[in-house]
Structure 1
Amino acid sequence: MLGIGTIAKKVFGTPNDRKIKATKPLIAKINALEPEFQKLSDEGLKDKTNELRKRALEGTSLDELLPEAFANVREAARRALGLRAFDTQLMGGTFLHQGSISEMKTGEGKTLVATFPAYLNALTGKGVHVVTVNEYLAKRDSEWMGKVFAQLGMTTGVIWSNMPEAEKKSAYDCDITYATNNELGFDYLRDNMKSDLDQLFQKYHNFAIVDEVDSILIDEARTPLIISGPAEDRSDLYSSIDQVIPLLSDDHYELDEKTKGVTFTDEGNEYLEQQLQERGLLTEGASLYDPESTSVVHHVNQALRAHKLFQRDKDYIVRDGEVVLIDEFTGRMMAGRRMSEGLHQAIEAKENVTIQPENTTLASVTFQNYFRLYDKLSGMTGTALTEAEEFSEIYGLGVVEVPTNKPIARIDEDDRVYRTAAEKYTAMIDEAKVAHAKGQPVLLGTTSIEKSELLSQLLEKEGVKHNVLNARQHEQEAQIVADAGRLNAVTIATNMAGRGTDIQLGGNVEMKVLEVLEQNPDADPVALRAEEEARHEEEKKKVLEAGGLMVMASERHESRRIDNQLRGRSGRQGDPGTTRFYLSLEDDLMRIFGSERLDKLLTTLGMKEGEAIIHPWVNKSLERAQAKVEGRNFDMRKNVLKFDDVMNDQRKVIFGQRREIMAAADLSDIVGDMRHEVIDDLLDVHMPPKTYADQWDTEALHDQALEKLGIDVPVVDWAAEEGVDDEEIRERLIKESDELMAKKASAFGPENMRNIEKQILLQTIDTKWREHLLTLEHLRSVVGFRGYAQRDPLNEYKNESFQLFESMLDGLRETVSQQLSHIRPMNEEEQQKMLLEMAARQAAMQSAASAPVQAPAGEAAPGFVEDDPTTWGSPSRNDKCPCGSGQKFKHCHGKLA
């Protein structure tokens, strides 16, 4: 008997069906316009852009312009690339424009889809950012789709790391800008460390289209972006503590693989105290619970995590004497990315490589809070439905499943579960050999480098030629993926998420033509393409006869999404294909989530070695386990975000104030108000309200007025006068300080005084904000312990961080007033000298920003200022650091936490 929900779906369709149906009249309208746009000349397409732009600026809504804009893009793409967008691609583009996530299967042409809403939203003149997961895709897509935008009379830019500032500024000024999520986030932070509006990169956060949106907004959103500077070197402490961890026994700590947590037991704490005291890291008689031991305890906990939770060749690799993290979702190396709070240093100590100094945070932001800055956000991916709740709750994004252009012909088989990993791998190799023998391309998916290399060894033993794609072969990624659909191809890949290059049956024609042209530049491209296309058609026919791409996965990932991404590599554009997951009771997911019961069942059934259990119930059981893990990970990300939201409110206030200060021509009223508030604070302390004159501390008030306001006034005599109250003294202090500042302004000249006020304000805000960030980091690390006292850590953090913020603003007012009050007026000759020095510094900063800086050891580059990253230029990671240390930039000021 059918349930009410099932009957309702049959009659009314699902919510997703209704959304698809609603776009059909719009698609029909675009199709009806096609003949009209085909008649336009190349110049006519550009004229249409100018007409649409004019109408948009005059107030016509973008929704009204959509049919004409999409028809214009479709025709431009046909002429520039020879690609005519399918109706399903127009649907995907419509949902992106509406601020939703378009879930489109692999091979459905998402790169082209993005051009439609990007063009439409760029008509407002506020720019559009297309976000990719890596720089290779940003450059490739900007060049490829840039041809479409050029056909339409629009400009395209691309952002990459370490590019010269002038070029980067120009790229941001384009109508459409392609960039990675990391560069966009870092440029936002850099913008808020600048001192002039003209230096800013990101003028608007208008509309962002995020490619591989699940990878960027969920997987990578667990780690905040941090711009940092070097802190004190404590490598000896890490090495000393690292020697203790291998001495621990299993009784000394508890490992929870489900939550990825590890903690010391009481027995472990006692043993640690003894070992640390013997090594002089804890004083005799001291306990780990003493407040003085906080730092040592923190480092010991990080060392334990480094040894028990992080595995070499799975979570990181050691390359050229450096620990390089591996993205667990894409399998890529994350060069330059370092874990914060001493965890990266603990792993370096464990691996016995050079321990880089810790960093102190100069600015930070989470991807969640960065992307929520945009007026409109959208995204596209092949797999988003499993995370629909998180997209909705965190970003306010709905997910729409866009139908495929051709029906899916791929067969997804039930999982095969074996008793042991050895049996599983044997079965995989046997099946791969059978498929390979008949010419069927095979893709073997793994979750770690270690397992991909094990499968590679087994295939080598059987004499099967194959390619391996993991973090070690990262540079050949596109080529390996492009060849994975060829006849007889066998490819082993670690986490195939967000690769950006389709696996086409018979191979990728474009990649092959480029490869041959690189080897033989004098070859005729037209003849070469024709030859390659003929070969491709012949080979594709054979591959189709062999059954299309066979995907074999060596285990299930924690996230269903990653499994679906691997599956989606097969069955592109209606092609046939097969996917199959090979599991064993020794796999992490099976072992952690109740494989003991299944093991007993298999033993009872009397399964022989090499036999597999295959049943839909097993699939459902595993998917439930995966859903549990996804829910737990979502809760963890939500918790991190709740704490960052507290800081984000403060960040927005500070960054907003910086922009107002940069935009203001005259700040004398602001600094005047600050000075008056400092006077109010001094009176509250030394002449509290509702107190008598004999209770006032007028001598201290005199000293403080001299120190903080630069005025030497007879406060003691004023207080002794008949009938003088605190309000009268306040007015006299304000009058004296205002007169002093008026004299300074007259001596410096009004314009110079305004510049000085602006620079002092910005520098003080930056210094105070950095100190505040460090304080919040420490608060965040200890506030969790308040839970043991039945107090909510989040509420405690909110209350204390607000008080710290108020305290920071008080300190800001005081420091600015003090610095401005003590500036010495100069004579004309000194003023000229100062102006010349300022001009020279400005010129040095501009030249440093426009080219990578090299400086010999011991000599800083011209214009280099320790606390101002805008003066560091744009050195590459392996250039000498501009501070003059003689170290590489990546080991010095260029380190990222």
Structure 2
Amino acid sequence: MSESSARETTNPNELDSSGVPLSSSSTEETGPDPNWTPPDPVLSEATALDPLAPNEPLEDAGNDVETTQEAVVRRSSDPSANKKKWTKASNWRPRMVRWQRQLARVNALESTLQAEDDQTIRKRSLALRYRAMAGEKLSELLPEAYALCREAGRRSLSMRHYDVQILGGIALFEGHITEMQTGEGKTLTATLPLYLHSLVGKGAHLATVNDYLAKRDAEWMMPLFEMLGVSVGIIQTEDDQGGRRKSYGAAITYGTAKEFGFDFLRDRLLLRAQNRMQTEMLGSGDGGFSNSGDQVVMRGMHFCLVDEADSILIDEARTPLIIGSIEDTVRDQIIETYKWAAENAPLFELDEHFEIDDETKRYELTARGRSKVRALPKSDLVRTMGLVDMYEYIERSIKTHREFLLNRQYVIRPSEKDPNVDEIVIVDEFTGRLAEGRKWRDGIHQSIEAKEGVEISVPTGQAARIT
């Protein structure tokens, strides 16, 4: 056997963990292969930092799945290889390097915090809140905030955040969707970005799929947050307006995505009504006009962490949240205003208080008529109605008193649904027969019902909706 055949040479495609070629035992020492190219040092660093990287496939090309280790070899030996297969590694490589550095900073503070008492931990938390509200970037506060949260969990819950949970918290803070299996501690992981964002003082929300999970998770994690001086609120379906406002005022609020959505819609409707009322009151000089005193319950959505993101953002997102039926207070307000207008309509005189357009047959109040409307006595429900709406109710009621006559345009008879309740039925002007099931539009039918003292049928519709 020749000397060359007895010798085992180095395989350039076999690398040790540091990127140095591996060689089997040989009968004599050989020099390095002149064709071997060292691996990319940046990728080697990312591979070493990411424990999943050596077995994580970069791209599935049929049955040929290339691992990160194979990719190192391929790029080392063939720089002109297909660069498309590097997309996944190159996208996540800088993030993993950055997150591991943040994790190292969090871990470096652990021994220091363990030596401090509870009062000092709380003081540190208050100091972080001051720095956050003073404008310091949350990314700069993250290591100490996460370390404090970990220590508070260890003391109050006997639950210490693992490194992978810290990494998950960092990913959530940066706005990524993070997948964690059941039992890997999603509830504990969520405390990290929630606490960090609560430091700004604008509120942090966690949206989950049902009331049970919202209450369970909030009560479970509450000792952790209380040790850090952070208040926690819980939104439940049965909560009244005052309870909701208090819960939204807490530093961290747990609730369902559905309740958050409906509260948002109700607040938007209330703000719309208040803005309209303020606009209409400008220059009216009506000192007796008062507000209802209703207030919005939410203080904005500064940060919201979504639990079960696939369910909430994909499955349930296809069904919009709709405030379809009029709430009891709004319904009572509309009915009361129809009755108020019907009672006062006979007090308005043609030409002095209102005019009729000859072409459109539209009734419109004069300046004296609008002044009279403002001077009329009103119940509390009517007073919360916008002035423009009041004018329209009066104009509509004047029209029905003058143009719509009993037993000519309509009749009163017992309702088919409930014989004990009377209803207005239209008389067809061409045939003279009853027009079953028909109603006048634009509030005319309800105005006639108010004039005749029968039950007022308030129409329903979509007051607001959001997906």
TM-score normalised to structure 2 length? 0.52
Unmatched runs of 5 consecutive residues or more in structure 1: 231-361, 363-696, 712-736, 765-812, 825-857, 859-897
Show CA shifts across 1:19-46 (max 9, x none).
2222111111111122222233212222
Task: Give the corresponding residue for 2:36.
Answer: none
Q: How far off is 1:175 after superposition?
A: 1.0
1:714-729 paired onto structure 2 within 5 Å: none
Extract unaligned runs of 5+ from structure 2.
1-63, 65-73, 75-80, 274-291, 331-354, 399-420, 422-467
> What pairs up with 1:107-256 in 2 under 5 angstroms?
107-194=183-270, 198-229=294-325
1:5 paired residue among 64, 83, 87: 83
Q: Which has the larger radius of gyration?
A: 2
Measured in 2, the distance between the counterparts of 1:185 and 1:116 equals 24
Q: Which residue of 2 is the match for residue 97 of structure 1?
A: 173
- Is the 2:373–2:391 contact (alpha carbons within 8 Å) kept by the matching residues of 1? no
Post-superposition offset of 1:226:
2.6
The one-letter code sitting in structure 1 at the alignment partner of 2:319 is T
Hey, what's the Cα distance between the residues in 2 that align with 1:171 and 1:25? 36
> What SS does the corresponding residue of 2:322 show, helix, strand or coil?
strand
- In the alignment, the residues of structure 1 paired with residue 253 and residue 298 of structure 2 have an alpha-carbon distance, to the nearest angstrom, of 11
Which one-letter code corresponds to 2:385 in the other structure? Answer: I
Task: Check the 8 A contact 1:34/1:71 in 2, yes or no.
Answer: yes
Letter in 2 for 1:168: R
Deviations 1:525-545 (A, max 9, x none): xxxxxxxxxxxxxxxxxxxxx
- Alignment pair present for 1:88 and 2:164: yes
Matches within 5 A, 1:350-389: none
- Looking at secondary structure, tell me which structure has more helix per residue: 1
**1:671-708 CA distances to partner (integer Å, 9 max, x unpaired)?**
xxxxxxxxxxxxxxxxxxxxxxxxxx99627964xx22
Aligned partner of residue 103 in structure 1, secondary structure: coil
Shift of 1:186: 2.2
What displacement does 1:197 show? 7.2
Within a 5 Å distance, the mapping from 1:702-741 to structure 2 comes to: 704=362, 707-708=363-364, 710-711=365-366, 737=367, 741=370
- The 1:702–1:180 alpha-carbon spacing in structure 2 relative to 1, beyond 3 Å, is closer
Deviation per CA, 1:454-477, whole angstroms, max 9, x where unpaired? xxxxxxxxxxxxxxxxxxxxxxxx
1:199 positional shift: 3.2
Task: Call closer, same or farther: CA 1:19–1:185 in 2, change over 3 Å.
Answer: same
Contact 1:741 1:821 survives alignment (8 Å) = no
Instruction: Report the CA distance between 1:117 and its aligned residue.
Output: 0.7
Other-structure match for 1:48: 124
Match of 2:93 in 1: 17
Q: Tell me the residue number matched to 1:700.
A: 358
Match of 2:105, SS state, is: helix
Could you say which residue in structure 1 is the equivalent of 2:141? 65
Distance 1:185 1:45 in 2: 36
Contact 1:128 1:208 (C-alpha < 8 Å) held by counterparts: yes
Are 1:159 and 1:168, in contact at CA under 8 Å, matched by a contact in 2? Answer: yes
AA in 1 matched with 2:233: G
Q: Please, which of 741, 759, 764 is the counterpart of residue 384 of structure 2?
A: 759
Equivalent residue number for residue 403 of structure 2: none
Aligned mates of 1:92, 1:219 — CA distance in 2:
24
Distance 2:394 2:205 in 1: 41
> 1:758 and 1:116 mapped to 2: Cα distance?
48
Distance 2:106 2:293 in 1: 41
Contact residue 203 and residue 249 of structure 2 kept, 8 A: yes
Q: Does the C-alpha gap of structure 1 residues 744 and 197 become closer, same or farther in structure 2, counting only changes over 3 Å?
A: closer
* Inter-partner Cα distance in structure 2 for 1:160 and 1:132: 12
User: CA distance change for structure 1 residues 117 and 80 in 2, over 3 Å: closer, same or farther?
Assistant: same
Question: Deviations 1:562-609 (Å, cap 9, x if unpaired)?
Answer: xxxxxxxxxxxxxxxxxxxxxxxxxxxxxxxxxxxxxxxxxxxxxxxx
Q: Map 1:801-812 onto structure 2 (within 5 A).
A: none
Please tell me the residue identity of whatever aligns with 2:324. Answer: S
SS of 1:178's partner is strand
CA–CA distance in structure 1, aligned partners of residues 194 and 83 of structure 2: 38
Q: What fraction of aligned residue pairs are identical, expressed as a percent?
A: 38
Which letter maps to 2:384?
A: Q
Instruction: Show the counterpart of 2:278.
Output: none
Structure number with greater CO (CA < 8 Å, separation at least 6) is 1
Tell me how many residue pairs correspond in the alignment.
275
Letter in 2 for 1:228: G
Q: For residues 463-515 of structure 1, give each alpha carbon's deviation from its aligned partner in whole angstroms, at most 9, with x where no partner exists.
A: xxxxxxxxxxxxxxxxxxxxxxxxxxxxxxxxxxxxxxxxxxxxxxxxxxxxx
Give the SS at the match of 1:218: helix
Deviations 1:438-460 (A, max 9, x none): xxxxxxxxxxxxxxxxxxxxxxx
Q: Name the CA distance, whole Å, in 1 between partners of 2:376 and 2:113.
A: 63
Please state how far the C-alpha of 1:130 moved relative to its aligned partner.
0.6
Which residues of 2 match residues 329-478 of structure 1 at below 5 A? none
Structure 1 residues 700 and 98, CA gap change in structure 2 (3 angstroms): same
3-state SS, counterpart of residue 325 of structure 2:
strand
**Are residues 54 and 198 of structure 1, via their aligned partners in 2, closer, same or farther at CA, if it must alter by over 3 Å?**
farther
Q: Conserved in 1, the CA contact under 8 Å of 2:370 and 2:391?
A: no
Deviation of the 1:18 alpha carbon:
2.9
Q: Deviations over 1:273-292 (max 9, x none)?
A: xxxxxxxxxxxxxxxxxxxx
- 1:758 offset after TM fit, Å? 7.8
Q: Distance in 2 between matches of 1:55 and 1:24?
A: 24
How big is the alpha-carbon RMSD for the aligned residues of Structure 1 and Structure 2? 3.7
Mapping for residues 837-876 of structure 1, pairs under 5 Å:
none
How far residue 210 of structure 1 moved from its aligned partner, in angstroms, is 0.6
Local SS of the residue matching 1:56: helix
Query: Helix, strand or coil for the counterpart of 2:392?
Result: helix
After superposition, the Cα gap between the structure-2 partners of 1:8 and 1:116, relative to the gap in structure 1 and judged at 3 Å, is same
How high is the TM-score relative to the length of structure 1?
0.28
The one of 376, 392, 399 equivalent to 1:818 is 392
Letter in 1 for 2:304: A
When residues 820 and 121 of structure 1 are mapped into structure 2, their CA distance, relative to the original with a 3 A threshold, is: farther
SS of residue in 1 equivalent to 2:358: helix
TM-superposition CA deviations, 1:707-751 (whole Å, max 9, x none): 22x22xxxxxxxxxxxxxxxxxxxxxxxxx3x6656766x579xx
Q: Secondary structure at the match of 1:114?
A: helix
Q: Secondary structure of 2:178's partner?
A: strand
Question: How many Å apart are 1:218 and its aligned residue?
Answer: 0.6
- Aligned residue identity for 1:80: S
Distance 2:293 2:91 in 1: 46
Following superposition, the deviation at residue 115 of structure 1 comes to: 0.5
Shift of 1:142: 0.5
* Separation of aligned partners in 2, 1:154 and 1:6: 47
Q: Is the 8 A contact 2:373 2:390 kept in 1?
A: no
SS of alignment partner, residue 700 of structure 1: coil
